[in-house]
A and B are shown apart, each in its own frame.
Chain A
């Protein structure tokens, strides 16, 4: 157990401890519900100190994977380590280190936001003296201070979502598992969520986020894991994105001139069927290829208006998966 922290290590350590802190490590995970194979061989590594996006179509097993990681489900096969601890055999130790926010959750309608957080701080055995301050901080973090003493029943969906996030953070967990945290949030709250998750990751925590809001994920995620039909599918993001071949969207003032130049220079292109502005889509080798393309087009006198990646890298990878949607 030398590689695993002591059971009652104060969460959110600093300095060198963070650098070596284990994140989430999943190998060959399988889980079936009756005849439905929800997870069919998942391999996943989520680094500590990074935000990892979990992307996949509906029914691809994202929620099931998070349930296994949260220690609620026993996997049929495979190895799982959350913060270096096995959530099956060392359930309690794993739960102490994990903050989980489910995609669909209820609130105790008669309790106030403050009471919900206080109850969960008690349930996580936070030292009683530290609870009032901790609850106050969390309420401020998720901007619910003015609703602290109102019953949860009157909170809006987005406010409940933020309360749920505060609840997942109440015991200062090392690993955060967030299932669709952005759903129901207004744009401002989404930005704040992004900033908050970034900050939590920078503090050395492991953050695993599933979401359908891919542009959001792309802005905050360091890594991405793609799930399809219960399997992890190779996906790339971050460092690779700059060099990888991907689709770009090119638009010019004069579509005819653009098309003529593209055909003349032998570039394979296709029309962007989704847009009415006459833009074309073409595959380009990394950022360097895109820069060369702009230079050549401008040199050739094509009135280029914009060249931008078509959708995000995540979105493109996601759409590739979406074709296999069940």
Chain B
């Protein structure tokens, strides 16, 4: 026995050094062949289940019905007005919000059980022991889920096209919305994949994924509202307008007759309540709906009739969140007497790149967690699970 043991030590010594080099490059290997194999497996498993086809049909019917009904309702409403607002931007906003909203509801279910569901079904370990790397398994599952989510998105494009055909929406808004929604959905896929490797049970990871999505889509404006008083404070602000002293000099009769002729705008300081939304705007930027609204670019820009009577919810959200990002200006512009035109609201730059990046970062975190948790051999197991 002694001789045998010695033998093992030598064998072991030589294999260990060799193992060091082979062990490193195998863990991160990603080949298209491997990713495609996993993705094809996932898609076959999903696409063939009639549930999925039913879901797609229900989706098209729901989005289509709401698009046509709201289009008809808008037409009926505008008939009573002398100068009806253009229906295009409003319908475009309705379809966009609908597609994103339903997408955020459907997509979590595509990946949130991808790993622990397979583990429960007893199909994960047999896949792990093949020559597929953890990254290939994770990427394949992500790709399959994203393709399924994109199928829903592509099925909704015709309805965005209908809204576009009603006019007053820049054509570029359609591809912009589709691309940004697609990227937000892949982020949700990544988040769901991550949770599905962390939570032991499919029900748990589904709830956690929905909570994460709800956190982004619902809780962010709530937190923004809650934080509003905290960033509101009384401070000395500089104002350009008619000073309170001038107002005191005017008597009531003069005011009733209209704008005082002798009033002039001047710069003065005053104690006022100011809300520093430039500190909390990012909460709104995290919101997928805000990201899409800001990225859609439906506000009248070059080539659009700025004076057209249009009601554009996406553009309004976009302008609003950019205004909030800018925060209170150094000088409050309140000189309204010089001409009748609307005062330019101070605005900051685009908000959507930050929000989109943050969402994608969450998706990447979920993906990285999934890859780490899919590595074998495993040292620790999630509580209450078996390997196979």
A-side interface residues toward B, CB under 8 Å? 1, 3-4, 7, 25, 27, 33, 63, 67-68, 70-74, 79, 81, 85-93, 95-96, 98, 100, 102-111, 115, 119-120, 122-125, 151, 167, 171
Docked Cα-Cα span, A90 to B8, in Å, equals 17
B-side interface residues toward A, CB under 8 Å? 5, 8, 11-12, 14-16, 18-20, 22-23, 26, 33-34, 37-38, 40-41, 44-46, 48-49, 121-123, 125-132, 376-379, 381, 387-388
Chain A residues with Cβ below 8 Å from B40 are 119
Given contacts A71-B377, A89-B23, A90-B18, 18 further A-B contacts (CB under 8 A): A1-B14, A1-B15, A4-B15, A27-B8, A72-B128, A74-B379, A79-B8, A86-B15, A95-B131, A105-B123, A105-B388, A110-B44, A111-B41, A115-B44, A122-B33, A123-B37, A123-B132, A151-B48
B122 pairs with A73, CB closer than 8 A? no
Chain B residues with Cβ below 8 Å from A67 are 387-388
Rank and list the top 9 A-B pairs by shortest CB-CB distance, nearest first: A89-B19, A106-B122, A123-B130, A110-B48, A106-B121, A102-B388, A92-B26, A122-B37, A105-B122
Q: Tell me the nearest residue of chain B to A70, going by C-beta.
A: B129
Docked Cα-Cα span, A34 to B376, in Å, equals 19
B130 pairs with A95, CB closer than 8 A? yes
B15 pairs with A89, CB closer than 8 A? yes
Docked Cα-Cα span, A280 to B23, in Å, equals 60
The secondary-structure label for the interface of chain B is helix
Chain A residues with Cβ below 8 Å from B34 are 123
Task: Point out the residue from B14, B22, B45 that lies within 8 Å of A108, measured CB to CB.
Answer: B45
Docked Cα-Cα span, A122 to B40, in Å, equals 11
Known: A74-B378, A100-B129. A91 touches B123 (CB 8 A): no
Chain B residues with Cβ below 8 Å from A3 are 11
A91 pairs with B41, CB closer than 8 A? no
B15 pairs with A90, CB closer than 8 A? yes
Chain B residues with Cβ below 8 Å from A87 are 377
Chain A residues with Cβ below 8 Å from B5 are 27
B123 to chain A, nearest CB (A): 5
Chain B residues with Cβ below 8 Å from A86 are 15-16, 19
A110 pairs with B131, CB closer than 8 A? no
Task: Point out the residue from A7, A110, A122 that lies within 8 Å of B49, measured CB to CB.
Answer: A110
A102 pairs with B19, CB closer than 8 A? no
B127 pairs with A123, CB closer than 8 A? yes
B44 pairs with A108, CB closer than 8 A? yes
A98 pairs with B16, CB closer than 8 A? no
A220 to chain B, nearest CB (A): 24
Docked Cα-Cα span, A123 to B23, in Å, equals 19
B125 pairs with A72, CB closer than 8 A? yes
A22 to chain B, nearest CB (A): 9
A90 pairs with B19, CB closer than 8 A? yes
